[in-house]
Amino acid sequence: LYPFKKNYLLLGTHKGGKVFNKLTGNFTRVVNGNNQKYFDVIKNSKPTILLGYYNMAIFDTAGSRYDKTIPLPLKYADRIISDKEGDFFLSQARHLIFMSGKFQQKILDYRISALHIDKSGDLWAGTWQNGLFKIKYKFINNKLIINSTQHFLSEENIRSLFEDSKGNIWAGTRY
């Protein structure tokens, strides 16, 4: 769910992208010339990028359509987030991977179910059955440096992550 213009929201669904007009209450399909399905808006991406099964697409907010298709840097990703530098964290099967240009590094060996980068720039990774991780990191001179990793709620299934206006991180769990 991504607000991109006054009174308009972009939604990524498993049936493709939709735009919701708050004034009329109507949904319209996003113009998609390549017939790919994009189901998730990549948080923090500039310009707005949507994730599909094999590709990413840049969203043209003025025309409410996909402007450019980009192949995924990995064969498959089920979660992806971008930091303020434009680097990506992607989850693939049972791994969390950091990517910057052609640089790739595996960070965690867990099934990732939610990703969030907080206001301080720290990565939060929710997992299926292994809880929540907070990762402080830097990427300098083509090297990922992990300053610290904290583990919370170690046996929980994390479904969603949210940061409130006070900077508190909220984790939605399965039960």
What pLDDT, in 10s, does the model give residues 51-103? 777 778 888 878 777 878 877 777 777 888 888 888 889 888 788 989 888 88
Q: Which of 72, 74, 99, 97 is nearest to 85 (CA)?
A: 99
Q: What strands lie across the sheet with 112-117, from one edge to the other? A: 112-117, 123-127, 132-140, 143-152
What pLDDT, in 10s, does the model give residues 104-162? 889 999 999 999 999 999 999 999 989 999 999 999 888 899 999 999 988 889 988 99
Length of the chain: 175
Burial class (CB in 10 A: 0-12, 13-18, 19+), 90: buried
pTM (predicted TM-score): 0.77
Q: Are 159 and 126 in contact (CB under 8 A)?
A: yes
